[in-house]
Structure 1
Amino acid sequence: MSPRRITFLPTKATFKLGERLGMGTVGVVYQATSPDIDEPVALKLLHPNVSGDENIVNRFEREIMIMERLNHPHIVKHYGGGIMDGQHFYAMQLLDHGSLKDRLQEQGPLPWPQVAVYTIQIASALQHAHNHGIVHRDLKPSNLFFDEKGNLVLGDFGIARDTHSAEFTDHGMTVGTYAYMAPEQITADSHLGPKADLYSLGCVMYEMLTGSPPFKGANFAQVWEQHLNRDPEPLAKHGVDCPEWLESLVRQLLEKVPHDRPFSARTVQGYLHQHLVEEFGEEEAKELLTNLPSISNTAPIREQPRTWVLWLALAAIVAVCTIAVLRGS
């Protein structure tokens, strides 16, 4: 039996389906190849049983149109979409090196310099989207994927809001992932804008530093109440040792009132870059920003001096004990 082929619209690329990568409630994702594209792609197909649901189809088509407007190294690449045999589909960059969520679950909190670098990358992606009138609304570790160079790439614009469109279909609806939602997102504010993504960025930063989101609870109502009314625990309570300027940024991103957060994602970028240069110097800061840990090696970018002191002290104690045992024998 010959491989199934898909003719893409509006592009001329022809794709050959390969391994199924995943399946959700509304679609299936396959690995696919095309002679017109140098690398394999991920191809998403809507399930036939939801093709008659106007809301799902509209959201799917809107995601395609949004992705066509975005072109950024830290946003998943889009290769077009269309309809095949009544099934909606589109192809995107294949990111098969895991997500930030996977990394945190496997290895726990990240060292603060690495968190700062990843935050610069995420903020850069958000600024590009915001420049095009797009609010992501679902920024979280599971939607941040690693490319082959170890950089983070923002994906899944399925519930993104196009502020340039007059046809909002979700007025009064609360959408997003409750552990990362801004207060104005929880209350379904009709004027929700880019600063909601900045709040989510603060949640992601907090989780990268501590290993868990800033607010937890047995259900969404408990978590929402904290987003609306509580301050997150200081990072020191989680054993995080980072500069005050970094914790100050996290606190500002998690302000309840949008106006109290940083002016823009670009502001966050500039703030972090400036402090990394002040902390490490121009050359080492550049090294941090360009030489991330490889996918197979997630060791910290730079061990803090006090960590080395502890390791050396421990080694000295072990050596003394060993010598004592040998002499005693």
Structure 2
Amino acid sequence: MPPDVPGPTTPLPRLDLARALVALHHGWITPARFRELTSRDPAERSVLGDLRLDPARLAELYGSTVLLAKPETLSRLAEDGAVPPEEAEALGPGDWIAGRYRILEVLRGGFGRILVCEARTGEAYARGNRRVALKTPLRHRLADLGTLEAFHREAAQWIALGAHPNLVLAYGVEEHLRLPFLVMEYVEGACSLHQEIQAGRMNWLRALWIALDTARGLAYAEQRLGLVHGDLKPLNLLLTPSGSVKVADFGLSLSRALAEAQDAETLAGTPAYLAPEMWFEAPQRTARTDMYAFGATLYETVTGRTPFPPDQPWLNRVQAAPDPRRIQGDLPSPFADLILACLDRDPDARPGGFQELLPALEALHLRLLGTAPPASPEPDAPAQADALANLAASWTNLGRLAEAVEAARKALRLDPDHWKAHCALGEARLRQGDPGGALASFEAAHRAAPGEVAPLLNAALAARDGGEAQVAAAWLERGLRLCEARNRYVDLDTASLLLVEHLPGEEALALLDRILEEDPAAVMTWNNRAVLLRRLGLPAEAAASADRALAINPLYAKAWSNRATALVELGRLEEGLEAAGRALELDPRLAGAYAAKAAALARLGRLEAACACIRNGLRLLPGNALLLRAEAAYDR
């Protein structure tokens, strides 16, 4: 047991809300157990022992991330944390993400998921496999727009860093079932520095190499983006089987390049690694607070314990860090002095950043060992054009369209025939409201890769959005022929509405059912199947198909809208009214939901409310043909 963890005879402090949140975050206690522990009067709450954690987990609990927030904020997080995950969170091994990543393992937490996956497409890099790690927030937390914004900010910063041997590589962002997924490098066989410290496998020489690799990665991040990591600690340093270090988890990072909508005073951190100045009002995350966390991490690496007792980390406000040589007598004095310099109570006395610290570490290695430090291995990363195409697609998914266009054009300057870059450029142009430019990009993608389905279907979608129905039908037909030749139809999911719009009803239904046979979770196909079944005069079957879409993704607004329309047609007016209301809560720009809600209200004899509903819709969607027809009908 680590020396700073309370032993059987040491009185345990009372349970505080923050530590209970940490235990829930790690999945060590259930939501029900969390509610039980935190619903007691604060003065009567049981001691931490009531968590019933083994010593290793208790040690991690004392060093794990907690929120330094106002009591009311912690209370709100407690209420959120006690919410059991929705059924829609239940992605598991064997499921597919965006049709490209098959889940092998799910690592669960209270605030998010890490999914270890195997990529269906893409190159196997130097490690010899196609494994990646996908990070996503829990669905019920996305109701808070701040959570989504924070996730997007982390993803944007991490992706913008690019490849470096000492940073976990972020490939890009995918979207699946309206959830964002950050696709990251999977470091096979890696363990955290925290695990190695707990196992007693550290010495000062390994600590020096770890310090060098960590500083290399963060000096690069500092130079490239002016990045402050914000949560540096042993749990966020991965040790690869070759012995090198990769810095992970940029969820609390701040950067000059992406400074908008960021607030350095919005603090979440890990108490044992927080600089003294962080305990005062209006703390600021800076390069020097990162430096303190780096010093605390090195101190723990060489001694096995944090500089101050885990339950009293705030002592650093009034006491200097103890000399690590008192615990580890063989620690060279120059290395101990460097650690203590990083831990100085005065921020101005610490090294100013990792670009400044790195040469000092390299000189220390030469002084102590007589040789220059070994270089880190080259990053296991895609070619530059591939990486830029991934970056362009990711910027589009994050809504940063100008940056998406720029990244795609950079990729095409490196490789003019890079079909994925052409597609990424087309998708960004389509989102920018330029269907003609998007169609030109998708045509170029098809010329570069005539055997790929995606450019054909994207070209059909761009032509449809540009009002060229015949051109859209021609591109769709080419896509269908390629699917038939491959005997694979699941790629049609994203274009399934085109099948409804351009093919005879029975033929379209057969193709939709074929997609669902290949992928029962093809949520867009279930939804568009509901559209088709309504057009075929089968509202009961349409409602059932919309229900299948909603079972997969309860936040799919268009499926709620289609369900509402089908229910109104079936005369189930109250249910239809409820479904339309849910659709508009999720997306207030759905004309079909306004029309369905108004129809239900009118048939319930609430004509004035129906007219008001249509007027509300027209305020957001002026000139919408469906709503204008409804307005004319109800105003008579």
- How high is the TM-score relative to the length of structure 1? 0.77
Bigger drift between 196-205 and 167-176 goes to 167-176
1:79–1:59 Cα change, 3 Å: same
Report the Cα distance in structure 1 between the residues aligned to 2:294 and 2:171, rounded to whole angstroms: 27
1:159–1:192 Cα change, 3 Å: closer
Q: Conserved in 1, the CA contact under 8 Å of 2:157 and 2:258?
A: no
Runs of 4+ in 1 over 6 A off after TM superposition: none
Q: Conserved in 1, the CA contact under 8 Å of 2:155 and 2:173?
A: yes
Residue 122 (str. 1) matches residue 214 (str. 2):
yes
The residue type equivalent to 2:260 in the other structure is: E
1:286–1:115 Cα change, 3 Å: same
How far apart are residue 258 of structure 1 and its match?
A: 1.8
**Which of the residues 307, 329, 333 maps onto 1:240?**
329
Query: 2:341: which partner in 1?
Result: 252
1:268-279 aligned at under 5 Å gives the runs 268-279=357-368
Query: 1:156: which partner in 2?
Result: 249
Q: Conserved in 2, the CA contact under 8 Å of 1:179 and 1:223?
A: yes
Cα distance per residue 1:128-156 (max 9 Å; x no partner):
12121211110000011122312111101
**Which of the residues 87, 91, 100 maps onto 2:179?**
87
How far apart are residue 168 of structure 1 and its match?
A: 4.2
What secondary structure, in the 3-state scheme, does the structure 1 residue paired with 2:269 have?
coil
Report the Cα distance in structure 1 between the residues aligned to 2:299 and 2:333, rounded to whole angstroms: 14
Report the Cα distance in structure 2 between the residues aligned to 1:175 and 1:80, rounded to whole angstroms: 25
1:9-158 aligned at under 5 Å gives the runs 14-20=100-106, 22-34=107-119, 35-38=121-124, 39-70=130-161, 71-95=163-187, 96-107=189-200, 110-131=202-223, 132-158=225-251
Report the Cα distance in structure 2 between the residues aligned to 1:65 and 1:204, rounded to whole angstroms: 26
Residue 223 (str. 1) matches residue 313 (str. 2):
yes
Q: Conserved in 2, the CA contact under 8 Å of 1:202 and 1:251?
A: yes
1:205–1:166 Cα change, 3 Å: closer
1:172–1:280 Cα change, 3 Å: closer
1:48–1:229 Cα change, 3 Å: same
The residue type equivalent to 1:81 in the other structure is: V
Query: 1:205: which partner in 2?
Result: 298
What secondary structure, in the 3-state scheme, does the structure 2 residue paired with 1:92 have?
strand
Report the Cα distance in structure 2 between the residues aligned to 1:107 and 1:259, rounded to whole angstroms: 33
Residue 214 (str. 1) matches residue 307 (str. 2):
yes
Report the Cα distance in structure 2 between the residues aligned to 1:190 and 1:217, rounded to whole angstroms: 20
How far apart are residue 186 of structure 1 and its match?
A: 3.0
Report the Cα distance in structure 1 between the residues aligned to 2:263 and 2:353, rounded to whole angstroms: 24
Report the Cα distance in structure 2 between the residues aligned to 1:104 and 1:166, rounded to whole angstroms: 35
1:238–1:167 Cα change, 3 Å: same
Cα distance per residue 1:43-99 (max 9 Å; x no partner):
123222222121111111111101111131111111111321111211111134210
1:15–1:217 Cα change, 3 Å: closer
What secondary structure, in the 3-state scheme, does the structure 1 residue paired with 2:316 have?
helix
Report the Cα distance in structure 2 between the residues aligned to 1:55 and 1:183, rounded to whole angstroms: 27
Q: Conserved in 2, the CA contact under 8 Å of 1:174 and 1:188?
A: no
- RMSD in angstroms over aligned alpha carbons? 2.3
Q: Conserved in 1, the CA contact under 8 Å of 2:200 and 2:304?
A: no
Q: Conserved in 1, the CA contact under 8 Å of 2:298 and 2:339?
A: yes
The residue type equivalent to 2:150 in the other structure is: R
Query: Larger strand proportion, structure 1 or 2?
Result: 1
Q: Conserved in 2, the CA contact under 8 Å of 1:74 and 1:154?
A: yes
**Which of the residues 316, 333, 356 maps onto 1:267?**
356
Q: Conserved in 2, the CA contact under 8 Å of 1:174 and 1:187?
A: no
Report the Cα distance in structure 2 between the residues aligned to 1:173 and 1:43, rounded to whole angstroms: 26
Cα distance per residue 1:222-245 (max 9 Å; x no partner):
312x12221121122213312211
Cα distance per residue 1:243-276 (max 9 Å; x no partner):
2111110111011222111132133221122122
Query: 1:314: which partner in 2?
Result: none
Q: Structure 1: which 5+ residue stretches go unaligned?
A: 9-13, 292-329
Q: Conserved in 1, the CA contact under 8 Å of 2:254 and 2:262?
A: no
Q: Conserved in 2, the CA contact under 8 Å of 1:127 and 1:266?
A: yes
1:236–1:290 Cα change, 3 Å: same
The residue type equivalent to 1:77 in the other structure is: L
Larger relative contact order (CA 8 Å, sep ≥ 6) = 1
Query: 1:326: which partner in 2?
Result: none
Query: 1:303: which partner in 2?
Result: none
Report the Cα distance in structure 2 between the residues aligned to 1:103 and 1:113, rounded to whole angstroms: 14
Bigger drift between 112-121 and 180-189 goes to 180-189
How far apart are residue 6 of structure 1 and its match?
A: 2.6
How far apart are residue 185 of structure 1 and its match?
A: 2.9
The residue type equivalent to 2:321 in the other structure is: P
How far apart are residue 195 of structure 1 and its match?
A: 1.5
How far apart are residue 122 of structure 1 and its match?
A: 0.7
1:141–1:171 Cα change, 3 Å: closer
What secondary structure, in the 3-state scheme, does the structure 1 residue paired with 2:361 have?
helix
Report the Cα distance in structure 2 between the residues aligned to 1:182 and 1:201, rounded to whole angstroms: 10
Identical counterparts, % of pairs: 26
Query: Larger helix proportion, structure 1 or 2?
Result: 2
Q: Conserved in 2, the CA contact under 8 Å of 1:171 and 1:188?
A: no
Cα distance per residue 1:7-50 (max 9 Å; x no partner):
38xxxxx2222222x11112221111122041301112322222
The residue type equivalent to 2:342 in the other structure is: L
1:228–1:163 Cα change, 3 Å: farther
What secondary structure, in the 3-state scheme, does the structure 1 residue paired with 2:268 have?
coil
How far apart are residue 171 of structure 1 and its match?
A: 5.0
Query: 1:296: which partner in 2?
Result: none
Q: Conserved in 1, the CA contact under 8 Å of 2:115 and 2:133?
A: yes
Cα distance per residue 1:182-201 (max 9 Å; x no partner):
12333365653211111111
Query: 2:275: which partner in 1?
Result: 182
Structure index of larger Rg: 2
The residue type equivalent to 1:89 in the other structure is: F
Q: Conserved in 2, the CA contact under 8 Å of 1:172 and 1:188?
A: no
What secondary structure, in the 3-state scheme, does the structure 1 residue paired with 2:344 have?
coil
The residue type equivalent to 2:332 in the other structure is: P
What secondary structure, in the 3-state scheme, does the structure 2 residue paired with 1:173 have?
coil
The residue type equivalent to 1:25 in the other structure is: G
How far apart are residue 290 of structure 1 and its match?
A: 6.6
The residue type equivalent to 2:101 in the other structure is: F
Residue-pair matches, total? 276
The residue type equivalent to 2:331 in the other structure is: C
